[in-house]
Chains A and B, each alone.
Chain A
Amino acid sequence: MSLSPIAYLKSFASDRDDVTVWSGDAPNWRSFTAWAIVSSAAVVATLFLATFALNPFGNFPETALSQKFADDNQRFDYPSIVRSGLHDSAVFGSSTSRLLEPAALHEAFGGRFANLSFDAGTAWEQTQIFKLFLREEPTPKMVVLSVDGFIWCDPQADKKRLTFRLFPEGFYDANPFNDLGDILNLELADTLNKAVKVMLGSRQPYFDDDGFGDFTPGEANYDLARAQQHIRSEAKAKRSEPQLSVAELSSLSFPALNWLEDILATIPAATDVILARMPINVAIQPWPASRLGQSDAECLARIADLAARRGLTVFDMAIASPLTSNDSNYWDSLHYRLPVGRQIVAALHDAFADGSSSSILTIRRAADR
């Protein structure tokens, strides 16, 4: 068979039905079809087999090659941590609560903690992992809910449920078979590659069996100037704006608070609950005189109202404080340094023990509105 590539491409725009690119031997359709279908099936089967063998998400039976938590998308990995049965307490939140160490939490509160905070976790995603946790552990000892304003007070939270990171919904229900529907995706090749590296010892798992992992570049590599550069570039403008009226404030909608209400309603009475806002750098905290600041305060007050229904207060660390005003505590405006995590656990412990504010934590009550 011979073929002129130029004639082939030129004829593309033709609407003629009699154009043919073939000459010589008749095409071997049997071979073509067999190769197309068999190679498709072979690649798909190989991907599934590799996933079963390497078990990178920990949701399949263990094999000799199993390598858990090689990937950095916690949305795929945390369900298996929840199902491990090793944890009766957990932290839920986004990257702002990722550096709360389960060991420090255990020391402070006594539970067997897992940190189930997702990087950039949306309120909807956090709600899903929380529901799964409660299904697997119906009577938790303690839950720590990080209710950052920029996540839980987002007026678009019900529309922006997911991020660019994939979320395997099938991993979060009681049916193990539909997990298969969330295996094949464009992240899988990278995940398997990382799992092989973990197996060969050239890469460490992204986090431990309790979900904790230090995602920072390491204390030895801290660079204050670079951190301040990040913080400055992310800082919110401090401009006063025309204020929202009382009517406008009361008409604001925070869809994620409906999920928070459900969460609080389903937690058993015997479970200790901490509702906290993590200490983001003061540079990106909403300016009180701005509309965003007003909106944030309104949302916080509504969270405090929800908390009060089960006798709780909100431990607010997203305030101007010696911690949040000191750039040397941060890698960037959202992410504090690893030792700060222990400072936060200590502040939570003190507030939980005696219900009083401290220099880095303000107690928010429903009556504060």
Chain B
Amino acid sequence: MLFQTQLFLLVFFPVTLGLFFLVSARANVRIAVLIAASLVFYGWWDARFVPLLIGQAVFTWLFAELYFRIGSRALLWLAIAANLAVLALFKYADFIVGNVEAATGLSLPRSTWILPIGISFFTFELISYLADQLRGREKRYGFSRFLLFVLFFPRLIAGPIVRHDEIIGQFDADPRRPGVSERLGKGFVLLVIGLAKKVLIADQLAGTADTFFAAAAIQPQPLFESWIGTLAFTLQLYFDFSAYTDMAMGMSLMMGFVLPPNFDAPYRSTSIRAFWRRWHMTLSRYIRDYLYIPLGGSRNGVARYVLATMASMSLCGLWHGAGWTFILWGAMHGAGLITCRVWQGFGLPLPAPLAWVLTMLFVMAGWVLFRSPDFSTALSVFTGLAGQAGIGSASSASWIMAAGAAAALLGPTSLRYVHQYLLVWRSAAIFWAAVFVYCLLAIGGRDPTDFIYFQF
């Protein structure tokens, strides 16, 4: 089920929220309601994947329980390996087979399996739980609470990537505790902001970006079209992904749960390091804690730092998609982070506007790789961006792009807005209700557009 559908917004979520508050006096029943709702939510796409999702969660919990009783760390390693194997099987098997074929000239069978939606997100969360036990941060949870940690529907498909110890404890807090009106109000506005970002901005920009990349796959496009198309995707990706996060955080807040922030105005960054502190923050945190630092981090010499950074970021790229364009995108950011650190070590800061321009050019070049289905398309886009296919015209630019750019660069983040700037007036409440209803009408009669990050 998609967030931006009338079925979800008018039936599924209100009914779930209503039931949740109806049984709020009893924690176990509340949790059962959310587990049942999450299974319906996930099974709506394809019920065949529900056993896989539950199976991974049950398997992980059982192995952790065995570890707590027996004390053998091998159990944890085994469970991590099994989770990685499931991810590899569903997401990377065909990629690996394709590369073996290319290297050997053999013709091998393909799995043709469908990628279970959200598998990268929930598998990472399961692994982080197991890895934390290995690192001595032992946490033992009841089965239902652990299951809800994995299944909790607002963030099941595309994050934020939540750590077990920052959410499971919240499940026992009574949603009617003091501040319930504030949480409901702020959560509702966050939900509406996310919905508006998705429906009114991201989906509108998708047409420009999709048309451009489809055309560029055939031949390089003129200069203006290339820059506008690349900028459209740059904005689309941010508004699309942050929209999902806003909606996830908003719905969670309405139920009394606080999810970690995922975006902090990333396109205002004046360095690549700052960008990764502001973009998909929960993934950055995950990569840092579970890859970069275990690989040596920055405190074990330059060579180890370079290795840790490049390996972490390349794997970050691979996490996004089973393709060499994604791996190169990750490696490119790894190289960018190293270069940035070296430059900052010189103590010669660039003027902020110049630093911002360089950062954005780098980020946009990365998005070209990220969006292109293959290297030839990416090369075609870069050829167009360099003006090698004529000048063209700016006719594909739109006011939505300008408004989106202004909001991304000048506006507060959604989270900051609801916590610091939301005017708690009756007229403001009616305004947000009107935006909500308008978005409901705007999604009516149209096929919903998937969130970009659903494919990861």
Interface residues of A (CB under 8 A from B): 3, 8, 11-15, 17, 19-22, 27-37, 39-40, 43-44, 166-168, 181-189
- Chain A residues, Cβ within 8 Å of B6: 181, 184
Interchain nearest-CB distance for A296 vs B (Å): 25
Q: 10 nearest interchain CB pairs?
A: A185-B444, A27-B424, A166-B445, A35-B429, A33-B185, A36-B429, A29-B181, A185-B445, A29-B182, A39-B433
* Cβ A21 vs Cβ B445 within 8 A: no
- Chain B CB within 10 Å — which of A30, A37, A182 has the most? A37
* Cβ B424 vs Cβ A44 within 8 A: no
- Chain A residues, Cβ within 8 Å of B7: 181
Cβ proximity bits B154-168 to A, threshold 8 Å, 1 near / 0 not: 000000000000000
**Which of B169-177, B237-245, B323-331, B435-443 makes up part of the contact surface?**
B435-443
B86 beta carbon closer than 8 Å to chain A: no
* Cβ B441 vs Cβ A185 within 8 A: yes
Interchain nearest-CB distance for A16 vs B (Å): 9
- Chain A residues, Cβ within 8 Å of B265: 15
- Chain B residues, Cβ within 8 Å of A22: 424
A182 to B421, CA, bound (A): 36
* Cβ B444 vs Cβ A183 within 8 A: yes
**In the complex, which residues 412-455 of chain B have their Cβ closer than 8 Å to any Cβ of chain A?**
412, 416, 420-421, 423-426, 428-430, 432-434, 436-437, 440-442, 444-446
A168 to B444, CA, bound (A): 9
Show 24 residue pairs from A and B whose CB-CB distance is below 8 angstroms, ordered by the A residue. A11-B421, A13-B409, A15-B265, A17-B416, A19-B421, A27-B424, A29-B184, A31-B426, A32-B181, A32-B424, A32-B426, A35-B430, A35-B433, A36-B429, A37-B433, A44-B437, A166-B444, A166-B446, A168-B445, A184-B440, A184-B444, A185-B444, A186-B441, A186-B442
Task: Considering the complex, give the chain A residue whose CB is closest to the CB of B409.
Answer: A13
A35 to B18, CA, bound (A): 17
B203 beta carbon closer than 8 Å to chain A: no
* Cβ B268 vs Cβ A12 within 8 A: no
B410 beta carbon closer than 8 Å to chain A: yes
New A-B pairs, 5, CB < 8 Å, besides A3-B423, A33-B429, A182-B444: A19-B421, A29-B182, A37-B433, A44-B440, A184-B444
Interface size on B, residues (CB 8 A): 37
* Cβ A12 vs Cβ B441 within 8 A: no
Interface residues of B (CB under 8 A from A): 6-7, 10, 181-182, 184-185, 188-189, 264-265, 268, 409-412, 416, 420-421, 423-426, 428-430, 432-434, 436-437, 440-442, 444-446
- Chain B residues, Cβ within 8 Å of A168: 445
Chain B binding surface, main DSSP class: helix
Task: Considering the complex, give the chain B residue whose CB is closest to the CB of A20.
Answer: B420
Interchain nearest-CB distance for B273 vs A (Å): 15
- Chain B residues, Cβ within 8 Å of A187: 445
Q: Which of the residues B184, B268, B428, B437 comes within 8 Å of A40, measured between beta carbons?
A: B437
| A21-B184 contact in complex given A39-B433, A188-B441, C-beta closer than 8 Å | no
Interchain nearest-CB distance for B168 vs A (Å): 26
- Chain A CB within 10 Å — which of B265, B428, B429 has the most? B429
- Chain A residues, Cβ within 8 Å of B441: 184-186, 188-189
- Chain A residues, Cβ within 8 Å of B442: 185-186
| A37-B420 contact in complex given A32-B426, A188-B441, C-beta closer than 8 Å | no
- Chain B residues, Cβ within 8 Å of A184: 6, 440-441, 444
* Cβ A13 vs Cβ B445 within 8 A: no
* Cβ B189 vs Cβ A36 within 8 A: yes
Task: Considering the complex, give the chain A residue whose CB is closest to the CB of B436.
Answer: A40
Interchain nearest-CB distance for B189 vs A (Å): 7
- Chain B residues, Cβ within 8 Å of A14: 412
A187 to B428, CA, bound (A): 26
Q: Which of the residues B268, B421, B424, B440 comes within 8 Å of A29, measured between beta carbons?
A: B424
A186 to B188, CA, bound (A): 22
* Cβ A21 vs Cβ B420 within 8 A: yes
- Chain B CB within 10 Å — which of A39, A182, A183 has the most? A39
A166 to B447, CA, bound (A): 10
| A40-B433 contact in complex given A32-B425, A184-B444, A185-B445, C-beta closer than 8 Å | yes
- Chain B residues, Cβ within 8 Å of A12: 410-412, 421
Interchain nearest-CB distance for B216 vs A (Å): 19
Q: Which of the residues B188, B268, B445 comes within 8 Å of A36, measured between beta carbons?
A: B188
A182 to B7, CA, bound (A): 10
- Chain B residues, Cβ within 8 Å of A182: 444-445
A182 to B184, CA, bound (A): 28
A182 to B6, CA, bound (A): 9
A28 to B445, CA, bound (A): 37
- Chain A residues, Cβ within 8 Å of B409: 13
Interchain nearest-CB distance for B423 vs A (Å): 7
- Chain B CB within 10 Å — which of A8, A12, A29, A181 has the most? A29
Task: Considering the complex, give the chain A residue whose CB is closest to the CB of B189.
Answer: A36
Q: Which of the residues A35, A36, A186 comes within 8 Å of B444, measured between beta carbons?
A: A186
Task: Considering the complex, give the chain A residue whose CB is closest to the CB of B425.
Answer: A32
Interchain nearest-CB distance for B306 vs A (Å): 30
* Cβ B188 vs Cβ A33 within 8 A: yes
Task: Considering the complex, give the chain A residue whose CB is closest to the CB of B438.
Answer: A186
* Cβ B444 vs Cβ A30 within 8 A: no
A44 to B437, CA, bound (A): 7
Task: Considering the complex, give the chain A residue whose CB is closest to the CB of B447.
Answer: A162
- Chain B residues, Cβ within 8 Å of A186: 441-442, 444-445
A111 to B268, CA, bound (A): 69
A190 to B300, CA, bound (A): 67
- Chain B residues, Cβ within 8 Å of A20: 420
Q: Which of the residues A13, A32, A37, A44 comes within 8 Å of B428, measured between beta carbons?
A: A32
Q: Which of the residues A8, A37, A39, A185 comes within 8 Å of B184, measured between beta carbons?
A: A37
Task: Considering the complex, give the chain B residue whose CB is closest to the CB of A75.
Answer: B445
Interchain nearest-CB distance for A306 vs B (Å): 29
| A44-B185 contact in complex given A12-B410, A17-B420, A32-B425, C-beta closer than 8 Å | no
Q: Which of the residues B410, B429, B436 comes within 8 Å of A13, measured between beta carbons?
A: B410
* Cβ B410 vs Cβ A32 within 8 A: no
